Amino acid sequence: MRHKSNSVLSIAVIVASLGYFVDIYDLLLFSIIRIKSLTGLGLNEQQVRDVGLQLLNVQMAGLLLGGILWGVLGDKKGRLSVLFGSIFLYSVANVANGLVHGTQGYLIWRFVAGVGLAGELGAGVTLVSELLPKEKRGYGTMLISAFGVIGAVAAGLIGKLFEWRTCYFIGGGLGFVLLLMRIGILESGMYVSVKDKKVSRGNFLVLFSDWKRCWKYLKCILIGLPCWYAIGILVSFSNDFAKALGVKGAIVPGTAVMVFYTALSIGSLLSGYLSQIWKSRRKSLILFLFMTLFFVLIYFFARGITPLMFYLICFGMGVGVGYWAVFVTIAAEQFGTNLRATVAITVPNFVRGVLVLISICFKLLADRFSLLTGGLLTGLICIGIALIAAFTIEETYHKDLDYIEEV
């Protein structure tokens, strides 16, 4: 039985990278064309805000539910079934989103899209981590993350060039093309060797049955907090922060998103590469967390700057949170084969979901103090928590993943 693939550019890495590209494309595309699509459906300004919030909420609900669903299935039915099942589901949902003619259908299919989008990254990272030798698996997950986040840039460009329905059709079409590439991808040998054994697989509740295991799982989630703080607060509301900072010119959030994600792709390559060169996930993770802290501080204390300087700060912050590549690798490497997909798939989606709590914290602090003070304090809290988790999490670079988690 073939357990390993020695090539970093294997078909599994290529398909997982392309799958994450389409995943991020769809996730960001919705935010980019939300107003355009709802206006196209005949909604007025107030309805666009109200229904837009509902769409965001149902998509997030789909991501959280899908994270658990795909995670459990990944350990019970296999990594490949989740990888291609999730791609198929969000591709169908994309096409359906392009065909809707009312808000009810839009809500339903955004929920379905959320469920589909939840599975691809974790399944791809799990599969690649188990197929590649431990000396190379960091390179594989690095490529998945680095290429995948470019999907955000593609979403920004396509969202400007095409009518909103066409944008969804493009996303769905890309997904279906990926499904044609599934021939030749091997299932993880580690999973195959475990599936016929009488061991508990994909038991999500087991993660909380033991304090040590629960704390390890929570640390995997907590180290990702600064990523979605930066994306969901500082970049998404960059126009509001720019006004408060006295930036000498208009800041367009869509442009900030594209700049940020371009930098995130570069940061993913750098963080993943350093984790391999240093033979330490933790050292790379801590370095990039401090880099994120550095640019967050500059973001809030650079007053009266030009738009170009503001976008450059967003770029630097994007490079900092490029540790996302190391973050998803660490999650996949923390647990045994019988729980690995459950963890690797749920963790990124729970980090996305925690944005709701980060937003609440930000609003409370902004209302209590000011927009800038609230934003800075929220960031310091998120980065501080992430650093505590990073300094105490297990080093996994040399870890042999071919083992079963005792439950």
Confidence label for 63 from pLDDT (cuts 50, 70 and 90): very high
Q: What one-character DSSP code corresponds to residue 303? A: -
Q: Where does the pLDDT of residue 57 fall: very low under 50, low under 70, confident under 90, or very high at 90 and above? A: confident
Q: Say how far residue 134 (Cα) sits from the centre of its chain.
A: 23
What is the reported pLDDT for 266? Answer: 94
Residue 2 has pLDDT above 60, yes or no: no
Is the pLDDT confidence value at 50 over 90? no
- Calculate the CA 46 to chain-centre distance: 30
Q: What letter would DSSP give residue 395?
A: P
**CA 286, CA 284: separation in Å to the nearest integer?**
6
pLDDT the model gives residue 254: 82
- Mean pLDDT over the full length of the chain: 90
Domains of the chain and any CATH numbers:
1-182 (1.20.1250.20), 204-402 (1.20.1250.20)
Q: How far apart are CA 406 and CA 220, in angstroms?
A: 19
Task: Kindly tell me if the per-residue pLDDT of 188 is higher than 80.
Answer: no
Rounded to whole angstroms, how far apart are CA atoms 167 and 161?
Answer: 9
Report, as an integer, the average pLDDT of 290-301.
97
pLDDT at 4: 53
What share of the chain has pLDDT > 70, as a percent?
97
178 vs 175: CA distance, rounded Å: 5
pLDDT band of 248, cuts 50, 70, 90: very high
Q: Is the pLDDT of residue 53 over 80?
A: no
| pLDDT, average across residues 293-310 | 96
Residue 1: pLDDT band (50, 70, 90) is: very low
What is the full DSSP assignment across 148-198?
HTHHHHHHHHHHHHS-HHHHHHHHHHHHHHHHHT-TTPPPPHHHHHHHTSS
Burial class (CB within 10 angstroms; exposed 0-12, middle 13-18, buried 19+) of 249: exposed
Q: What is the pLDDT of residue 31?
A: 80
As given in the structure block, the two tokens for residue 143 are 């490529």
Within 14-135, strands assigned E span none
Query: How confident is the model over 68-120, as pLDDT tens digits?
Result: 999 999 999 988 899 889 999 999 999 999 999 989 999 999 999 999 999 98
pLDDT digit string (tens) for 203-238? Answer: 899 999 889 999 999 999 999 999 999 998 999 889
Encode pLDDT of 386-404 as tens digits.
Answer: 999 999 999 999 888 888 8
pLDDT in tens, 353-379: 888 899 899 999 999 999 999 999 999
Q: How confident is the model at residue 14 (pLDDT cuts 50, 70, 90)?
A: confident
AA letter at 338? N
Distance of alpha carbon 190 from alpha carbon 80, whole angstroms: 13
Q: Is the predicted pLDDT of residue 312 greater than 80, yes or no?
A: yes
Which DSSP category does 31 fall into? H
How many C-beta neighbours within 10 Å does residue 364 have? 13
- pLDDT-above-90 percentage for the chain: 57
**How does pLDDT run across 125-156, given as a tens digit for each residue?**
998 888 888 888 889 889 998 888 889 889 98
Q: How many beta carbons lie within 10 A of that of residue 303, not counting itself?
A: 10
Confidence of residue 187 (pLDDT cuts 50, 70, 90): confident
